[in-house]
Structure 1
Amino acid sequence: MPNHNRKTHSRAILSTSMVLACCAAFSAQAARHEPTSPAESTNATAVARFDAAIAQGLPARLQLTGLRSGQTRGDDDLHIEGRLEGDVVFADGTHGVTYDGMWRGTRAVVTRSRGHLDITSVTRSGIDITGYTEGSDEVEHEALAGDPRDRSARTAVKASPPAPPATPDAAEELKPNRLTFHLMLHDDTRGTYSHHIHAGYVAWWLADFQRRIAPGRVVDVLYSRDIAGVTDVRYGYLGTLHDWSDAMERYASERDIPRTYRHKFLLVTKGMVEPDRYGRSWQKGFDGMASLDGRYPEVAHQLGHLLGAKHERAEVRYQGWWCETNMYAPSLVLRSNCYVYSRANMSLIDDYVRTGEGFIGHSRWSED
């Protein structure tokens, strides 16, 4: 090749290389300054990341907080699979939305309420709750130990600062034809926020019910408190359930709440509901009572009775340690909780919620 052609060719190669280098540098700088979505930004708070991920559509996966020293991706991985249909109305009148998902590789349920995000998961050691408040990345963590071998780790659901004034007429939120659980919080539970009762005792049950027993069914949970004649009743004596059922009959009539198999009423107390009983309910009936001082599945156990589940259909399982399904009674202190119903009881509940078969409107046949 002549010398002048080689020089021209070399200049062309040099010019092309310079252009490519400039473009690469510009692209790298643009990438560094490219805006990121709140779901990806390390500066966004956990709740903002969650909201942004949900807004982009489900399913969604996000790193809930920015990675910190010593963490690897996946340490705070939250995978939202879908929304569980229905409404949660807390005692202060605010609403919550429930999502099904995985948290750090464990099945979880996420409750997004006003100003807050709660992630409830069932672990081998019990119920694990991780919470975040809007505008903060501070982790609010609580472990409710479910293994009776580890009673030292058991802690009560945290009390909160006083909530806004209660909204006693939860009936205003009522959808008469939907399966609805009315949780009436006794006045002696005032030290515990209804959001925390939901996260610790109800959310895992609600998610399991909608995942495995009645998938696709719309379920509402309504919390109420500070209702004269309903949440301030005396309890702890023989016949308490009879008297409280009479009170609920009047309450439902005054507020036009239908007394059908789709509506269940549970009084949630701090202490024993009757002598030596942490819970009691009318089998396939309207009303029941459950104490927060009982086993963690006590609320699930009593709701199970209202939905037709039976003690004799419960199971003991072995999952590295022996555990009892929700309806097992009497409970053995050495066993932990499975936090699920047995397949036989799942079938009984499914039949009941689909057909109402066996519903006894004014049942006085009770189970502990």
Structure 2
Amino acid sequence: MHSLLKPILTFIAALMINMNAHAVDSPDKLNDDPANPIRLFAIFHDDVPAAKRSATYADHIRPFTVEFENITGRKIHLIFDRNRPPYTSFNYKSEDQSDMFQGWQKLAWEYRKLRHESNEFPISSNDRVLLITNDFINGGPIFGGVGGIANQPGSAAIASLDFKQAIGHELGHSFNAIHEEGEVLYNGWWCETFMFEPLPLRSNCFVFSEGNRKRIKAYVDSRY
């Protein structure tokens, strides 16, 4: 029995998608204004085709924003952007995800400053800058790979459209949700909450676990 179990578990582990979080955020020096909304700048990478862009909100972002607003009582102001190099042409594919993500953190901060200096939006430390990509950072959804990365917590994130839960997962990290509080629920079939490491055989719940709901609410409340 044990001799059969080990290769099965190894195979399952190989299928799991690796979602990551980084603990260090870019050095924000500006104070937040409690009157500001929580803005989500959703930037499409140049490699995302138009057909995928049109379905991104309904399929990938709205499940997160509905759940987030239910948890926190705060609204998300969503701003899409595309065709804006160097942000939309950022080279996110890398085996060294830590070094790559440091580059994205710097660009995300510069992006927020640009929108502020153009008199479009004031800067808030609660802003989120999400790079939406067509592909994984490395690897892929079948045999394992890195589908996204984010600050834990913080303002920068990257998430692939190859997996529907990736955007909610990485934005969850940015609001202090953690893997350890992820759960598998059963509602006729097994489904994973946003922060649970995914397996292809299960579906997506598109909700956070109770533990992560408490973490997100406490984090957002602490900001004001």
TM-score range, shorter chain: 0.7 to 0.9
Call closer, same or farther: CA 1:351–1:258 in 2, change over 3 Å.
farther
Number of the residue aligned with 2:192: 324
Q: 1:279 aligns with which of 145, 148, 172?
A: 148
Q: 2:92 aligns with which of 226, 232, 235?
A: 235
Number of the residue aligned with 1:29: none
Counterpart code for 1:347: K
Distance across 2 between alignment mates of 1:339 and 1:289: 18
Distance across 2 between alignment mates of 1:253 and 1:315: 37
8 A contact 1:186–1:268 mirrored in 2: yes
Distance across 1 between alignment mates of 2:75 and 2:186: 32
Report the secondary structure of 2:50's partner residue.
Answer: coil
8 A contact 1:259–1:286 mirrored in 2: no
How far is 1:246 from its partner?
Answer: 1.4
8 A contact 1:270–1:291 mirrored in 2: yes
Report the secondary structure of 1:189's partner residue.
Answer: coil
Distance across 1 between alignment mates of 2:126 and 2:86: 23
Q: 1:205 aligns with which of 27, 50, 64?
A: 64
Counterpart code for 1:270: N
Question: Does 1:337 pair with 2:197?
Answer: no
Report the secondary structure of 2:158's partner residue.
Answer: strand
Distance across 2 between alignment mates of 1:218 and 1:325: 21
Call closer, same or farther: CA 1:282–1:258 in 2, change over 3 Å.
farther
Q: 1:253 aligns with which of 113, 122, 125?
A: 113
How far is 1:214 from its partner?
Answer: 1.9
Report the secondary structure of 2:157's partner residue.
Answer: strand
Bigger share in helix: 2
Q: Percent identity?
A: 30
Distance across 2 between alignment mates of 1:271 and 1:222: 22
Report the secondary structure of 1:222's partner residue.
Answer: strand
How far is 1:258 from its partner?
Answer: 5.4
Question: Does 1:353 pair with 2:210?
Answer: no
Unaligned 5+ segments in structure 1 are 1-174, 358-368
After alignment, is 190-199 or 284-293 more displaced? 190-199
8 A contact 1:194–1:223 mirrored in 2: no
Number of the residue aligned with 1:157: none
- Higher RCO, 1 vs 2 (CA within 8 Å, ≥6 residues apart): 2
Report the secondary structure of 2:105's partner residue.
Answer: helix
Question: Does 1:214 pair with 2:78?
Answer: no
Question: Does 1:191 pair with 2:50?
Answer: yes
The normalised TM-score by structure 1 is 0.46
Distance across 2 between alignment mates of 1:176 and 1:240: 33
Counterpart code for 1:277: V
Report the secondary structure of 1:284's partner residue.
Answer: coil
Number of the residue aligned with 1:303: 171
The normalised TM-score by structure 2 is 0.73
Call closer, same or farther: CA 1:176–1:242 in 2, change over 3 Å.
farther
How far is 1:273 from its partner?
Answer: 2.1
Matched positions, count: 179
RMSD between aligned residues: 2.0
After superposition, the C-alpha distances for 1:120-174 in whole angstroms (9 at most, x for unaligned) are xxxxxxxxxxxxxxxxxxxxxxxxxxxxxxxxxxxxxxxxxxxxxxxxxxxxxxx
Counterpart code for 1:214: T
Bigger share in strand: 1
After superposition, the C-alpha distances for 1:222-281 in whole angstroms (9 at most, x for unaligned) are 110011110111121123211111112222223325554310111000001245201111
Any residues of structure 2 matched to 1:1-368 within 5 Å, and which? 177-192=36-51, 194-210=53-69, 212-215=70-73, 217-237=74-94, 238=96, 239-256=99-116, 260-275=124-139, 276-294=145-163, 296-329=164-197, 331-356=198-223
Distance across 1 between alignment mates of 2:45 and 2:130: 10
